[in-house]
Amino acid sequence: MVVGEFIGISKELISQILQLDVMLIFIILFVFIIIAYKVFKYLMKALIIGIVFALIPILANFLGFPVEINFYVILQYAIYGIIIFVVYSVIHTGLRIVGFALSPFKRSFKKKEKVVVKEVEKPKKKKRK
């Protein structure tokens, strides 16, 4: 005797539940892939920003500024660049969330433009003689 039949659950209901679980697993997998992709993109942007900031002391020394060039200085500039990028991202995301939360109020306080309809006079037809 199958356990489902013992407690009064039909085979159709069991198959529907199993299909729901498979669909739920695919949905979770899809969401995980999207989140992983976004995290990867964010880390790549942070890496590029770090590399660009790491080049600053080298370029400054090339231009004649007295900047010491060693591994720790280059690493320090790279870390500063990544920190600035993260702070910018947090502030940008916060402003987007606040803007989204306040968007209903923005729409209600927007001035409505008055629609002015001008009537155009039709040219008068000349009378035939």
- Residue 44 in domain: yes
- Distance of alpha carbon 20 from alpha carbon 25, whole angstroms: 8
Q: How many domains is the chain partitioned into structurally?
A: 1
Q: Would the pTM count as exceeding 0.75?
A: no
The pLDDT value recorded for residue 128 is 67
Q: Return the axis-axis angle of helices 71-109 and 11-54, rounded to nearest 10°.
A: 120
- Residue 123 in domain: no
Residue 79: domain span: 3-108
Which H helix or E strand runs over 108?
helix 71-109
- Residue 127 in domain: no
Other CB atoms closer than 10 Å to residue 10's CB: what's the count? 10
Name the more confident of 77 and 106: 77
pLDDT in tens, 46-73: 999 999 999 998 898 888 888 888 889 9
- Give the angle 68-70-72 at the CA atoms, nearest 5°: 110
Say if residue 2's pLDDT is above 60.
no
- Distance of alpha carbon 16 from alpha carbon 8, whole angstroms: 15
- Residue 118 in domain: no
- Residue 97 in domain: yes
- Residue 120 in domain: no
Terminal Cα-to-Cα distance of the chain (whole angstroms)? 107
- Residue 38 in domain: yes
- Residue 126 in domain: no
Q: How many CA atoms lie within 13 A of 56 on its CB side?
A: 14
Other CB atoms closer than 10 Å to residue 74's CB: what's the count? 17
